[in-house]
Amino acid sequence: GIAVELNGDAAAVVDQLGEYTLTSQTTCHGTEGDDKTYTYEGFVVNTYPLAGEDRVREIVIKSADIPT
């Protein structure tokens, strides 16, 4: 029952979604900070930095059990 919106505040979403595996890499978009990938069971949330905050770039669904 958690809504994840593209370009939304990633910190608020990550706090609600629970346990994850985090990977990060230097952004290639000319902004300061790192792109981050939060891997959960059945889906992935990719983020990018903007104005000092991480924003949701992409949601990748990997399981039919994840409602959209």
**Model confidence pLDDT, tens digit, residues 43-59:** 999 999 988 899 999 99
User: What's the CA gap between 39 and 3, in Å, rounded?
Assistant: 16
Mean pLDDT across 5-9: 94
Give the residue from 42, 27, 19 showing the smallest Cα distance to 55.
Answer: 27
Model confidence, pTM: 0.84
